[in-house]
Amino acid sequence: MGEFNGKISAEFSPPKTWVLNRELSFTTDQFSAADIEVLERVGANITKSGKFSCLKGMKTDLASVPRICWTFIAPWDCARAAVIHDHLYAVLRKYYHSKEMHKPTWTRARALSDKVFLLGMKSAEPKISKFKMYSAYWSVRACGRWPASANPEES
């Protein structure tokens, strides 16, 4: 599945933002060269070997789970996967509003971004329950098109 480079090191910046104090990365071998090329095309910070990186200083909300849902899917154990996913959705937003925008590329990159989220949750320690993992994954698959296409200036 994959491996993270360690725990999140971040500082809270009210009202709901965290700022990374150091790079957070996730490496997986579950993507083809064509998949990696699609993610590179939209601006993802990914290497040819499948290492996704969120740089020091990146802002994140950890996981955009409505507070009412925290009873079932509190974001803490899936936070590292969510941070990587936040990076990918940030580049998707930017790409969506660029002159280079190509809808099939954006659609494929969004599906791959959501797959990274799932792979990250599957690689989490401690383990995340399958119910929670798939609830979070299918939530972003069903509703992620709006945050992934929002105007980056308003995000």
153 has a pLDDT exceeding 80: no
pLDDT of residue 144: 83
Q: How many domains would you assign to the chain?
A: 1
pLDDT of residue 152: 82
Q: Is residue 96 part of a domain?
A: yes
Global model pTM greater than 0.85: yes
pLDDT tens-digit profile of 59-101? 998 876 656 666 666 667 889 999 999 999 999 999 999 999 9
pLDDT of residue 69: 62
- Judged by DSSP in three states, 151 sits in coil
Residue 60: give the domain boundaries.
3-149
Report yes or no: 104 and 38 within 8 Å, Cβ to Cβ.
no
155 has a pLDDT exceeding 60: no
Q: Is residue 155 part of a domain?
A: no
- Judged by DSSP in three states, 95 sits in helix
Q: What DSSP assignment string belongs to 124-137? A: -SSPPPHHHHHHHH
